[in-house]
């Protein structure tokens, strides 16, 4: 999902020039972000200092100090492949026509669609999965940059998860 930033109490898509991957926490963290931007399609969130970018979105250059929160939203489900040593908790890749797409990146699994040599994907029906949850992973919260991410996890039903996922899509925020 997108990196989200809170500015003046409203949520925006956030990007910065330099990102560092924190593989142990599975998130990106902005570091030395002397070049940061927030953007939106929502005219209700636009102030005088926003301008139209090349993608048709309203955008503003911003410093991290102006942002109260920076976070990601990830959706997870449980799905058992029936294979040993294959995880049962999956990050939702996306939703396609009411189906849930998950991805496996350590080889090809029988019955899954191959993407490349070591990556495959599978579409699952809502009835094939269990234990949907949403994780909000903060790298900045209440105006404080965090040394370690702060994770808020919520157990939700599948429809709530889809709603939260759709809300935080780039074109919807």
**Is residue 136 within 8 Å of 75, Cβ to Cβ?**
no
pLDDT tens, per residue, the chain with 173 residues: 678 999 999 999 998 765 555 555 555 555 545 678 999 999 999 999 999 988 889 999 998 889 999 998 999 999 999 999 999 999 999 999 989 999 999 999 999 999 999 999 999 999 999 999 999 999 899 999 888 889 999 999 999 999 999 999 877 88
Tokens 């924190």 correspond to 22
Token digits for 38?
């927030």
So what's the pLDDT on residue 24?
A: 54
Query: 84 to each of 81, 88, 109, 150, how far by Cα in Å?
Result: 8, 10, 12, 31
Q: Provide the Cα torsion 79, 81, 85, 86; round to 10°.
A: -60
Report pTM: 0.84
Q: Would you list the domain boundaries of the chain?
A: 4-73+135-164, 80-128
pLDDT in the model for residue 32? 45
Long-range contacts of 141-146 (CB under 8 A, 24+ apart): 141/69, 141/71, 142/68, 142/69, 143/68, 145/64
- For the chain, how big is the Rg over CA atoms in Å? 18
Q: 29 forms bridges with which residues in the sheet?
A: 20
The torsion region of residue 136 among left (phi > 0), alpha (psi -120 to 50) and beta comes to beta
Check: CB of residue 7 under 8 Å from CB of residue 164. no
């Amino acid at each position: 999902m997108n990196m989200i930033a809170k500015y003046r109490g409203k949520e925006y898509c956030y990007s910065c020039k330099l990102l560092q991957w924190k593989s142990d926490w599975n998130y990106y963290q902005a570091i030395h972000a002397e070049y940061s931007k927030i953007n939106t399609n929502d005219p209700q969130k636009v102030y005088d200092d926003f301008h139209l970018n090349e993608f048709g979105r309203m955008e503003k250059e911003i410093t991290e100090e102006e942002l109260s929160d920076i976070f990601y939203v990830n959706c997870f489900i449980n799905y058992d492949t029936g294979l040993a040593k294959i995880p049962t908790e999956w990050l939702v890749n996306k939703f396609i026509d009411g189906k849930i797409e998950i991805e496996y990146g350590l080889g090809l699994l029988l019955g899954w669609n191959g993407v490349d040599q070591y990556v495959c994907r599978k579409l699952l029906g809502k009835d094939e999965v269990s234990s949907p949850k949403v994780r909000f992973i903060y790298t900045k919260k209440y105006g404080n940059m965090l040394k370690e991410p702060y994770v808020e996890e919520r157990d939700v039903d599948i429809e709530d998860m889809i709603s939260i996922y759709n809300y935080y899509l780039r074109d919807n925020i």
